[in-house]
Amino acid sequence: MKEKDTKVKVKKIKNNIISRGRLLIVLSIILILLTCLVFRIGFIQFVKGPEYKEITARQSTSSRIISAKRGNIYDANNKALALSADVDTISCNPKYVAIYSGSDINQEKTKALKENMAKKIAEIFGVEEETIYKKLTSNSQYETLVSKVEQDKVDEFQAWLKENEVTNGINIDKDTKRYYPFDNLASNVLGFCGSSGSGSDGIELSYDSVLSGTSGKLTTSISSLKTVIPDSDEEYIAPEDGSNIYLTIDSNIQSIVEKYLKQACIENNTKNGGTCIIMDPETGAIKAMATYPDYNLNQPYTPNSNISKDWDSLSSQEQTNRLYGMWRNRAVLDTYEPGSTFKTITTSIGLEENLVETDTPGDFSCGGYMTFDNEIIRCSARGGHGSQSLRKALENSCNPAFMQLGKRIGVGTFYDYLEAFGLFENTGVDLPSEGTSYFWPEDKVGPTELATMSFGQRFTITPLQLVRAVSAIVNDGVLVTPHVVDRIENPTTGTITTIETTETRQVISADTANKVKNMMKDVVEVGGGRYAKVQGYEIGGKTGTSEPRAGHESEGYVASFVAIAPVEDTKLVCLLTLYGPTSGSIYGGRIAAPAVSQILSEVLPYMEIPSDTKTTKQVSKITVPNLKGKTVSEATKTIEGLGLKVSSAGQGSEIVSVQNPVGGAQLMKGGVVKLYTSEHSEKAKTTVPNLKGVTYEQAKNMLNSKNLNISYSGSGIVIAQNPTASTEIEEGSIVSVTLQAKTSEYEN
């Protein structure tokens, strides 16, 4: 019995020991777990605490970027060319665009809400409904639904949100949208802004950091439903608006240039359009810079008529390439062979080096061609110009004479002056992506290369490089840096930063410069540039006609004319180039010079440059009276009494309501006034005839037969007209013509 009790006691002791051991193990595990938990809490609180705090803050706060207002761009007359208007951008967090049943999202009602919202957004803002619905149902944290939309449309959408009790998930943020009040004006200079609001080309790109400003930020607390919780922790950092830029471009001069450049390109059916630059040679300020065809800055991704052919059949890459071509500022980016306009540079070098005088008889001899390395290089005058001085050679644009002058100068000296005139470097203009000139390496220049370079062929430069070089000639030999920005204004502080004139170097002496200017005047007065004359002003200039580059024969010839005006105290240099003319003449003196004459005939008076009244023929004109309110019979009697003619569809007792030309217009004797009444108000239209090559009397009769009037300048035959032939205009309108004495067939 005792043995049995002993065994029971031993067993109990063993069980107690096991229980205690198990308890110790459990307690140890619990202690370890508690220790780990303490360490984990400490790790979370002290090590990971800042990170989790930041995450929590991000989840419970809303931070919005507040766009800075982009600076405006103004012309030289403070006229706005690019503006930023206040608009809104609508975005969403798709997860929180929902309808709740208690604390849960009602999936069926939410789906219907998003469908209706997508439909409404598409209706108001003119976007694709399917695209909006995909954004509203995406898993993204943020989706932009529509951007840069006008306030009236936003108000309509907000009313819909209120009506449908939508309070969460939709954000409406202030933004700005870029507008260009004059659509195409100076498009290739201004450039435009892309969808992100950053500059994509032109001034908008080169001055993007100045115009864009610095964005601000608004941080607020939000609830789990993403609604704003008003509190004192709201943080607001105000945006800093971009600076305003004032250009040297004068929009009035720019409009004149674009009008006549377009006309010249259309009349001569140019393959690749044209360019024109007007620059102040003393300061480098560019008054106008145009490329044709241009484009609408408010619709920069819409192809113009020049590139829209077969648009839908093109690949996306081909479409992109065409758009980039449309945006190009060819006056700055594209290079070409300048042809005989470059003879002004060769002339300057020869005079500066005392290798030639202006009026030495028989200094040069032209038999119609010269031969170099078995290559025949011809003059435009096949029979040659015979013996001539440098002045006559420039007037005649004689290639052999300049090949002979180039030989006197020599390669080394020629290249020294090319560098001095800035033709190996970019001009430094404040526009993006300047083109790069191409010349033979100096050690590769032989007799043939030097001969062709001396009259402007077989090398390429940009139009702006030539304008800069010619400007140095008329600026007493001083080379300056071109620029299109005049000053920059900080709208917050009112600080003005002015762009000062940068004089690079003295290239030739003032004495040489004056000699070249005097010879350029004779080119226009008696030489191949006679079609560039402007009544009442002394104009200097040089014609240019360059052959297609080797390997690019399909591009055709380049016809150009560079002008200086006036010759004394020159205020501007104007270069107009026409790429690949295919209708009629290819010579710069024939087709580019008249266009320059038209431009200068309007620009010089606008700039208030005094004309020489001694050389201006005073023509008696008749002022048209205001005839509105008179009967047709009364108006007819008044008009005929002034020596004018009347064309009217109305009857004698009917009252005149509209007239063309309007009261105050100036007409030549025998001009026509068109009258309309309320009973007969439909405007009569006619097409402008082609007047080129006819005399003033012939032109006047041709226009009068179509009930059109004439305004003219100069004498001789018509070399230019505005509007162009075949343009449809109202009867009674005035057609302006430019007359010049007929000159030789070849003006290269």
Q: What is the pLDDT of residues 439-448, one digit of tens each?
A: 999 999 999 9
DSSP, res 232:
T
pLDDT given at position 233: 57
Separation in Å, CA 177 to CA 72, 79, 84, 299, 556: 11, 19, 5, 13, 42
Separation in Å, CA 214 to CA 65, 191, 245, 495: 10, 21, 16, 17
Round the average pLDDT of the chain to a whole number and report it: 88
CA gap 194, 200 in Å, rounded? 6
DSSP, res 621:
-
Under a CB-based contact definition with an 8 Å cutoff, are residues 84 and 178 in contact?
Answer: yes
Task: Encode pLDDT of 196-224 as tens digits.
Answer: 788 999 999 999 999 987 776 655 555 54
Other beta carbons within 10 angstroms of residue 109's beta carbon come to: 13
pTM summary value: 0.78
CATH, range 622-740? 3.30.10.20
Residue 8: burial class (beta carbons within 10 Å; 0-12, 13-18, 19+):
exposed
User: Which one of 3.40.710.10, 3.40.50.150, 1.25.40.10, 2.40.50.140 gives the CATH number of domain 332-490+497-606?
Assistant: 3.40.710.10
Which CATH homologous superfamily contains domain 63-247?
Penicillin-binding protein 2a (Domain 2) (3.90.1310.10)
- Domain definitions of the chain by residue range: 8-47, 63-247, 332-490+497-606, 622-740
Task: Encode pLDDT of 339-392 as tens digits.
Answer: 999 999 999 999 999 999 999 999 999 999 999 888 899 898 888 999 999 999
DSSP letters, 297-329, are TTSTTS--TTT-TTGGGS-HHHHHHHHHHHH--
pLDDT given at position 280: 97
CA gap 411, 173 in Å, rounded? 65
Residue 618: burial class (beta carbons within 10 Å; 0-12, 13-18, 19+):
exposed
Task: Encode pLDDT of 142-197 as tens digits.
Answer: 888 998 788 888 989 999 999 998 888 898 877 778 899 999 999 999 999 987 78
CA gap 158, 473 in Å, rounded? 64
Under a CB-based contact definition with an 8 Å cutoff, are residues 565 and 252 in contact?
Answer: no
